[in-house]
Amino acid sequence: MKYFFSLFVVFLTVFSFAQREHHADIAYSFGENSNTFSGNVVKNFKVLKSEKLHLGVGARAGYFQGKDVSYLTAPAKHKKSKDGIDTVMVSKPMFISVGLTLNASYHFTPQWSVGCNVDAIGFTFGKKKDSDFYPSLASQNEDPARKKLTNEQVKPSQNNFLLLGNNKGTLYSEVFARYRYQERYSLKVGYSFITTEYSSKNRIGHDNNYRFRNTSGQIMIGFGYSFI
């Protein structure tokens, strides 16, 4: 946490005198068994002499829903062996998340640009769900052996953190191309990676794990508005 806020302070200090660009966009993304609505408000700083590179921070709200989604053992320390990866199946997962984003884009022309963004920290809300738990080989070999469970209650992990290999919670990221068809209006298309995470009420997984995660790749389309 201290590492993130230190980077945030340095970022704002370095670019505090740069030209600014503000915009907001809404996006819809869809995959094989899930879809997402999101909105992102961004404050960018124009860097480099050409001002073609924009770096900034923002705030995003998102709504994720799916059908028959598999959630796998989440913490890195429990994923060292494939035999220890358990599965939790949720029939209708639903998450509402809010958080801070890190944003970057490169503008080839006033009309065309490419970019990416990622959630850094935030919170997630959602209802508790019943799930089916499928034990891994390692879970079945524990003493006592773990067995398949039905109607096991899980809830969305509330805290979201981007922690360089030890992420937690619900996190969005996008890569996209943007076309500005009028001075203030733009369209973007790209690809989203949506990570959602459930925590079980009981420590049902291998080695007493209780966190389970899914990452969905989704095609994304969006509409943007620039304030200045």
The token pair that represents 222 in the structure block: 């969006």
77-131 residue pLDDT tens: 888 788 999 999 999 999 999 999 999 999 999 999 999 999 999 999 999 999 9
SS3 call for 21: strand
**pLDDT-based confidence at residue 17 (cuts at 50, 70, 90):** low
Which among 30, 197, 41 is positioned nearest to 123, based on CA atoms? 197
DSSP secondary structure code for residue 146 in this structure:
P
Tell me, what's the pLDDT at 5? 56
**How far apart, in whole angstroms, are the C-alpha atoms of residue 218 and residue 196?**
13
Please state the pTM of the whole predicted model.
0.86
Query: Are 139 and 146 a contacting pair, CB within 8 Å?
Result: yes
Question: What's the mean per-residue pLDDT of the chain?
Answer: 90
Tell me, what's the pLDDT at 11? 53
CB atoms within 10 A of CB 156: 24
In percent, the amount of the chain with pLDDT more than 90 equals 76
136-155 residue pLDDT tens: 999 999 988 999 999 999 99
SS3 call for 142: coil
Which among 188, 169, 168 is positioned nearest to 178, based on CA atoms? 188
**pLDDT-based confidence at residue 6 (cuts at 50, 70, 90):** low
Tell me, what's the pLDDT at 217? 95
